[in-house]
Structure 1
Amino acid sequence: MKCYLFIDFGSTYTKVTLVDIEKEEIHATGKSYTTVETDVTIGYKNALEKLYKKTDKEIDIVKKLACSSAAGGLKIVAIGLVPELTAEAAKRAALGAGARVMNTYSHNLNKSEIEEIKASDADMVLLAGGTDGGNHICINHNAQMIANSGISIPVVIAGNKSCNDEIEEIFKGKIEYHVTENVMPKLNQINVEPARETIRSIFMKQIVNAKGMENVEDDISEILMPTPASVLNAAEALSKGSEDEKGIGDLAILDIGGATTDIHSIGEGSPSKASVVLRGLEEPIAKRTVEGDLGMRYSAHSILEAAGKNMFRKYIDIKEYGLEEELENRYNNTSFIPETERDIKFDEAMAKVCTDLAMSRHAGIVESIYSPLGATFVQTGKDLMELPFVIGTGGVIVNSKSPSEILNALLFSIEDPNSLKPRNPKFLIDKDYILSAMGLLTKVDRNMAVRMLKKYIVDCEGI
């Protein structure tokens, strides 16, 4: 039996998926705790051992491809000129590349900000600023500050192209740098894909720094991309389809993890009402947001600060729980698995809070602005009110007996009348954790990936 093997080196678990090429089916899966602190090879081999126990057929693995968010995944600092423009464009480029943005800086960097960057544990810096032929003073100043700082991580230069020669001279012999196209060549026009590809390629070279990853590389064909980028690839494939397979249309993916809550949305997000006008930077068709303060374990201690007690009250009787104690316990015990009804109920309440707040941050808003001509409705961000599909993934959703109850938390509510959150989408679920694997499969056979996504992404109502 000819198969593809897809590996996801996650921050918590390493997951392996064996795909029967002829039948276009998932033949077997396995997962094991990611052993990044010691040697990722151990977790990988444990996951493979569990997978092989599930099959008694003779297997011919044609290709092994991997994605990774081990060792915290890809962490980036984004720098631009104007917060709402080039700095925001740089942030979107980093997020679309599968990164976690540690911080975003704008205007001229100062010494304290440079010290923050040095202490941030970031893997690289994305340096933007100025449209092509526009402002050059800011990006040159920031390049000089970086060069003088002793920062040792790579810098991706994606700003005003007129400054590239000068910045290369500033960095030469001091900083590892990579030049790519401007993330905003013209005002309000974003161009993030070249920067994304540059970031991904640097990440793939660096990923061997995870303990034992160099040993794994000998056993697999290639580590293609960060895990979030693979999930985004799968989302785009399912939404848009392929040469031979029709996609299902606009969609969003909610991924609740131990450290972050990610949302990917595919669609223009244009105003659903004719009377609304757009304001601000154009939204990408494929948009990803990462909420580093909303996670089930590694970020559990920060959820209460981000959401407040009132949001918890929407989903649980807080008189029955000590919120701070429950959240701190999960933060201090990242391998904690809820088994009692009480613990499961609290975990799912946490998931609902993460879902609610993450979608509020991801979706756009509409506001009424008054002018001499009267009231005008202005939209910032994506309008997701008519979004037809939302896919849930992540352990707390996949293992829930009522995943739709968690997903309901992302819906529009009259309590937040300016939000453009979805009103009535159909809820689907990634029951078999195939999104990252299918994102890898798109690089081999996009037609097969779309067919398998449509087969395995199932309706929540059937669960």
Structure 2
Amino acid sequence: MDAYLLIDFGSTYTKLTAVDIEKEEILGTSKDITTIEDNIMTGFEKAYKKLMSQLEGKNINFVRKLACSSAAGGLKMIAIGLVPDLTAEAAKRAALGAGARVLKTYSYELTDIEMEEIKKSNIDIILLAGGTDGGNKDCIIHNAKMLVKHNMKIPVVVAGNKVVNDEINRLFGGASIPYSITENVMPKLNELNVEPAREEIRKVFMGRIVDAKGLRSAEDYVNGILMPTPAAVLKAARVLSEGSDKEEGIGEIVVIDIGGATTDIHSIADGEPTKAGVTLRGLEEPFAKRTVEGDLGMRYSALSLWEAAGTRKIKKYLKNKDLDVEENCRLRSKNIMMVPKIGEETDFDEAMAKVATELAMERHCGYIEPVYSPLGVIYSQYGKDLMEVKYIIGTGGVLVHSENPGEILDSASFSTEDLNSLRPQRAKFLLDKTYILSAMGLLAEELPDVAVKIMKKYLKEVCSSKMQEKKDHVDIKMDMFKEELKNKKQFDNHCDGVF
């Protein structure tokens, strides 16, 4: 039997998925602790042994072995641009869409103090942008000179004003800085062009960063480490939403990935205004958008989640309101491998997950702002309108192990408490119960039709209590309607007999 082996070298777990490409089925999944400090293949071999025990008796021939990775902290980057809300923000979005963790964004001309900060930040790649094509060129040239002055040897992806590319070639080539030049992330004012930069970042990841992360030994076994794990998830989301050559997509979606350190949101939607009389303002949004909230995590970032949300917001979701919120968050930040065992521990984890989902979604989606003018109130939209998104897909340990994942995902939905936030209003909830999204992103690189079919088959619909109440209400109404029809039919038959 020909199969694909899809591997995710995660920051905590190495996850394996075996796929029967002929029957378009998942043969098995397994995971074990990622062993980046020692030899990354040690954790892989343990997970592989578990997988093969599930497949015992089957004649498996792995024709392809593909991998993604977020091991050793994932792909860490900084983004440099000109104006904070324009080219610097465009550079940040390009980096996030490539699956990176953007540690910081710098604007205007870099200072020596900022350069020292960059040198100490333990990053993998620098994304250098600035200026529209034919626009400001002084800033990006100054920043390039600063990178040369401070002898930076970190790979640099240049995606700024094309007018300066010859000068960049001269500066970086003479200083032996590893660099590549691609198209401007903002060729015109407020116009995004992030895909070329994303692809260039992926190439640098595959060509250089794999070595730095100690993943070269894995490359001897697999056919290729194709991309960072978040980029694989975004790829899966996009192909599921849009479809492939032969397979229909399911429409606009949001993916929520709740982890120990971050909560990632991916939205695949054009984000145009869905309400009449609303004008779109601000920087253009990418169709495939990813945001990473580094202060909203279940373990590493538990304390920062408490600081961002506050005690009252977390208590809103707790059954036992007397629990000490700070103490419980501190406990989790000190015990990052903690697995909840009792009712109150699970309840607290789920309350954290609801808060992380609510805040991350609030930051990711757009909002409406009323502006008062001589003609009356005008409504401006900033960011993406996600109110008509069809599906919210959840992934991550707290969701997978929850008895009520729909309750957590419901925290991402539109709320009357914040009428200006453009969160999904009528979305159905799907759960990635077997952690297949990153695997399907890898598979979609080579067999997108198969990837879409498998995701449609294995992503399971879940309900929240609100949705179940609505469903039960509809079911009751339907039963009453059927009973009325039945009584009417009996009455009609009786009349026919009499008359």
Q: Aligning the two structures, in what range does the TM-score lie when normalised by the shorter sequence? A: over 0.9
How far apart are the structure 2 equivalents of 1:79 and 1:396? Answer: 35
The answer to whether the 8 A contact 2:145-2:171 is kept is: yes
Task: Tell which deviates more after alignment, 352-361 or 301-310.
Answer: 301-310
> Equivalent residue for 1:20?
20
Say which one has the larger Rg: 2
> Equivalent residue for 2:237?
235
How far apart are the structure 1 equivalents of 2:214 and 2:84? Answer: 39
Q: Deviations over 1:347-370 (max 9, x none)?
A: 111111100000000010100012
> Equivalent residue for 2:329?
327
> Equivalent residue for 2:453?
451
* Secondary structure in structure 1 of the residue aligned to 2:276: coil
The answer to whether the 8 A contact 1:37-1:211 is kept is: no
The alpha-carbon deviation at position 286 of structure 1 amounts to: 0.5
Q: What pairs with 1:42-441 in structure 2 (closer than 5 Å)?
A: 42-56=42-56, 57-174=58-175, 175-209=177-211, 212-316=214-318, 319-441=321-443
Root-mean-square deviation (CA, aligned residues, Å) is 1.4
How far apart are the structure 1 equivalents of 2:150 and 2:349? Answer: 43
Amino acid at match of 1:27: L
How far apart are the structure 2 equivalents of 1:69 and 1:212? Answer: 12
How far apart are the structure 2 equivalents of 1:210 and 1:334? Answer: 25
Q: Does 1:35 align with 2:1?
A: no
Q: Deviations over 1:21-52 (max 9, x none)?
A: 22111101110011112111111111101100
The 3 A distance-change label for structure 1 pair 241 and 40 is same
How far apart are the structure 1 equivalents of 2:324 and 2:120? Answer: 33
The alpha-carbon deviation at position 211 of structure 1 amounts to: 5.9
* Secondary structure in structure 1 of the residue aligned to 2:8: strand
Q: Deviations over 1:84-140 (max 9, x none)?
A: 111111011001100111011111112222222112221111010001111011111
How far apart are the structure 2 equivalents of 1:195 and 1:134? Answer: 19
Using the aligned pairs only, state the percent identity: 60
How far apart are the structure 1 equivalents of 2:46 and 2:401? Answer: 22
The alpha-carbon deviation at position 406 of structure 1 amounts to: 0.5
When the two structures are aligned, how many residues end up with a matched partner?
463
* Secondary structure in structure 1 of the residue aligned to 2:340: coil
Amino acid at match of 1:275: G
The 3 A distance-change label for structure 1 pair 317 and 119 is farther
Amino acid at match of 1:437: A
How far apart are the structure 2 equivalents of 1:328 and 1:119? Answer: 27
How far apart are the structure 2 equivalents of 1:320 and 1:40? Answer: 43
How far apart are the structure 2 equivalents of 1:224 and 1:209? Answer: 13
Q: Deviations over 1:385-423 (max 9, x none)?
A: 121110000000011000001111111222222111112
The answer to whether the 8 A contact 2:3-2:18 is kept is: yes
How far apart are the structure 2 equivalents of 1:28 and 1:224? Answer: 22
How far apart are the structure 2 equivalents of 1:411 and 1:318? Answer: 24
TM-score by length of 2: 0.91
How far apart are the structure 2 equivalents of 1:106 and 1:212? Answer: 32
The alpha-carbon deviation at position 212 of structure 1 amounts to: 4.7
The 3 A distance-change label for structure 1 pair 233 and 124 is same
How far apart are the structure 1 equivalents of 2:209 and 2:3? Answer: 25
How far apart are the structure 2 equivalents of 1:200 and 1:274? Answer: 39
How far apart are the structure 1 equivalents of 2:261 and 2:237? Answer: 21
* Secondary structure in structure 2 of the residue aligned to 1:414: coil
* Secondary structure in structure 1 of the residue aligned to 2:54: coil
TM-score by length of 1: 0.97
Give the gaps of 5 or more residues in structure 2: 469-499
Q: Deviations over 1:50-84 (max 9, x none)?
A: 10010121111100000000011111100111111
* Secondary structure in structure 2 of the residue aligned to 1:48: helix
